[in-house]
Amino acid sequence: MEHGNAEDGGLDVVVTTLASDSHTWNLVFLQLLLEEMGHRVTNLGACVPDALLLAECRRIVPDLIVISSVNGHGHQEGLRVIPALRACPELRRTPTVIGGKLGIAGADDPDRERTLLSAGFDAVFEEGGSVAPFREFVDGLRSRVLL
Amino acid sequence: MTGFGAFVAQAADAGALVVQPRMGMAEAARMRDGLLATRGAAAVTVGTITLDSYTRTGDLDAARRALALGAGLNGYPIATHPVDVTRAVLHGVADAGFPVQVRHGSAAPERIFEALLAAGLDATEGGPVSYCLPYGRTPLHEAVACWRRSCELLASIREFGAEPHLETFGGCMMGQLCPPSLLIAISVLEALFFRQHGLRSISLSYAQQTNARQDEEALAALGRIADELLADVDRHLVVYAYMGVYPRSPGGARLLLEDAARLAVRGGAARLIVKTTAEAHRIPTVAENVRALEAAAAAATAERTRPRPAAPPDTGIEAEARALIGAVLDLDADLGRALVRAFAAGYLDVPYCLHPDNAGRTRSSLGPDGRLYWSAVGSMPIAGLVEGGRPPILGSAGLLSALSHVQRRYDGRAPRPAAAPPVPRGLPAAR
Ligand code: B12
């Protein structure tokens, strides 16, 4: 499937958080990281309502959607938005990942990753140690898109 | 006078620092337990009900669904629990000897103010700028209108003999990497906004930053400016223990909290809001909060017995803050309109803030001494006061390094437990 404008090797990436989450340092960090890796980022900013998230993703048709949430509601809200994203024909197979601090009781909840994956996310990156595997995931996508 | 402000004033007269948690749980019974434990802590305390993010953003349906499902919320949904439930939470706990404040983070707080007044409370916090720019995407002019109405609602109970209290959150823009002069300016401007809309008992916040001497200078400046511009209202200063990326180790977290308590004492603050050893990881438990309150109170008491250190040298924080405040006050006699115009013109411009109404042309940097500096002042009217040439924070690795400066320093100083020292993971370096 052809997404965005990946011919020059860069991906079109949407970086976003979820409706209830106002934290943005995570978004600023992820944007810089992805730009340094050669990708083009649209950063949707704080407290992104579901309707805005869907509209922006349908408009941009990105190669990758990166959802970051740290306020502890990310698990609940991620489960709410992923079916809505997958219900859009143009986003049905768009690689979509979620990461951050997704619950309110710490990072070690193995069920959380499983439910998020089975709800339709392609990968889950919880907490601080998640940046290196995220880079590998994104590098993998780039080579897939280039093929 | 009774109420939150009077309680803090009495404690200050008696020589005690009031300590307060950040605490909020979804279930009423646990919220009550938390308040009881706060009241029972070995410290002079006031209680806190911190609200969840759905309530903060006005999504009361989501709050109701989460409550019904027993899904974890990051705070107490005060506009969703029936008012009787909240009254029962407070019954026999909150009184003149233990005032309780509602902490939220809402740009449009009318429902929250209504709910807290209905439950018999009259102390809360925030502000039209500090609860707008770092807390979502509500346009600033809307937040100003909402906050005007909310202030008027809160102030209206003065008619019945109450003295409602409102604290500025302006001393904590974005939690980190905002130089002190802008924090002071926004805190003072929000206090003036509160007064313009009828409040007469106000506290002004300042969040601990990255260098103790710089923070002492900032607090002294905030106190002087408040004494001058808010002489006719009951007021005190409140320090927030560090609001940025927190140490991961319990020892590091505790050292940072103790430094915040010392800062509060030295800087003339009457109240301190603590952070716990869970801060870097998850929502804290009640027990973690009680330990933080007691540790902070002990550190404050010890600091009071020490000789007062010499006043910090003047590095220009006060002059910058006064220039910012003066420029905004000159824009319009109506504080709300002045604030909207100030942000539109870039006279106030918060570094790293993504909000559409923030100009986004300022940048800060962290000196080798751990002090915060401006590296770009955009259109703020302080260009002549700021020494130039500070290198900006660059790239994702540079940003993480600046954000985790305090975490690294305090985790590094933390005593290691004898057996199996935990390796503080820290923010990962972007490789
Ligand atoms: C700064 C801060 C704030 C600032 C935010 C300003 C802003 N606009 O950004 C302010 C003061 C406004 C704030 C407010 C709140 N906060 Co806050 N905040 C923090 C704090 C102290 C630092 C966060 C930070 O800046 N990190 C720097 C960035 C770069 O790191 P990061 O966000 O952790 O992201 C890293 C990783 O997680 C990872 N990552 C993140 N997302 C993703 C996504 C992917 C795909 C990948 C690969 C990696 C990844 O990459 C980053 C680099 O390593 C943390 C605690 C801490 N960490 O010390 C609490 C914290 C995140 N806040 C918290 C909460 C709950 C809130 C509030 C809801 C208030 C409350 N109830 O206590 C409100 C938010 C209101 C809302 N509507 O959501 C909780 C969350 C609890 C939980 N998840 O269990 C924390 C953990 C504090 C705590 N222990 O209670 N906060």
The C-alpha atoms of residue B326 and residue B338 are separated, in whole angstroms, by: 11
Residue B283 has pLDDT above 80, yes or no: yes
Interface test with A, best of B51, B54, B396 (most A CBs within 10 A): B396
- Predicted confidence at residue B141, as pLDDT, reads 98
Q: Coil, helix or strand for B102?
A: strand
Q: Identify all chain B residues contacting A33, using CB atoms and an 8 Å cutoff.
A: 396, 430
Using CA atoms, how far residue B61 sits from B65, B132, B314, in Å, is 6, 21, 51
Q: Which residues lie below 8 Å from residue B140, measured CB to CB, with a gap of 6+?
A: B128, B129, B132, B133, B339, B340, B343, B355, B357
Among B135, B153, B124, smallest CA distance to B47 is for: B124
Among B209, B245, B353, smallest CA distance to A24 is for: B353
- Predicted confidence at residue A142, as pLDDT, reads 81
Q: From the CB of A121, is ligand 1 less than 6 Å away?
A: no
Which of B85-89, B311-315, B331-335, B389-393 comes out lowest in average pLDDT? B389-393
Q: From the CB of A123, is ligand 1 less than 6 Å away?
A: no
Among B245, B357, B257, smallest CA distance to B303 is for: B257
Cβ-defined contact of B399 to A29 (cutoff 8 Å): yes
What does the pLDDT average to over A102-109?
88
pLDDT band, very low/low/confident/very high, at A143 (cuts 50, 70, 90): confident
- Predicted confidence at residue B416, as pLDDT, reads 78
Mean pLDDT (chain B) is 95
8 Å CB contact between A15 and A34: yes
Q: Identify all chain A residues contacting B62, using CB atoms and an 8 Å cutoff.
A: 19-20
pLDDT band, very low/low/confident/very high, at A9 (cuts 50, 70, 90): confident
Using CA atoms, how far residue B170 sits from A95, B11, B41, in Å, is 39, 24, 28
- Predicted confidence at residue B81, as pLDDT, reads 98
What does the pLDDT average to over B408-427?
71
pTM of the model: 0.96
The C-alpha atoms of residue B146 and residue B230 are separated, in whole angstroms, by: 23
8 Å CB contact between B172 and B389: no
Domain range annotation of chain B: 4-304
What does the pLDDT average to over B136-143?
98
Q: Identify all chain A residues contacting B175, using CB atoms and an 8 Å cutoff.
A: 25
- Predicted confidence at residue A7, as pLDDT, reads 53
Distance B151 CA to ligand 1 centre (A): 28
8 Å CB contact between B378 and B361: yes
| Strand B201-207 relative to strand B123-126, pairing | unpaired
Tell whether A55 lies on the interface with B, counting CB pairs under 8 A: no
Per-residue burial over B333-345, b = 16 or more CB atoms within 10 Å of its CB, e = otherwise: eebbebbbbbbeb
pLDDT band, very low/low/confident/very high, at B421 (cuts 50, 70, 90): very low
Tokens linked to A74: 């990310």
8 Å CB contact between B426 and B248: yes
Residue of A nearest to B351 (CA): A25
Cα torsion B411, B417, B421, B425 to 10°: value is -20
Q: How far is B326 from chain A (nearest CA, A)?
A: 30
Q: From the CB of B245, is ligand 1 less than 6 Å away?
A: yes
Nearest by CB to B428, which of A36, A73, A128?
Answer: A128
Residue B403: phi, psi to the nearest 5? -65, -30
For residue B313, count CB atoms less than 10 angstroms from its CB and return exposed for 0-12, middle for 13-18, buried for 19 or more: exposed
What does the DSSP assignment read for B11-32? HHHTT--EEE-----SSHHHHH
Distance A61 CA to ligand 1 centre (A): 28
Q: In the CATH hierarchy, which top-level class contains the domain B4-304?
A: alpha beta
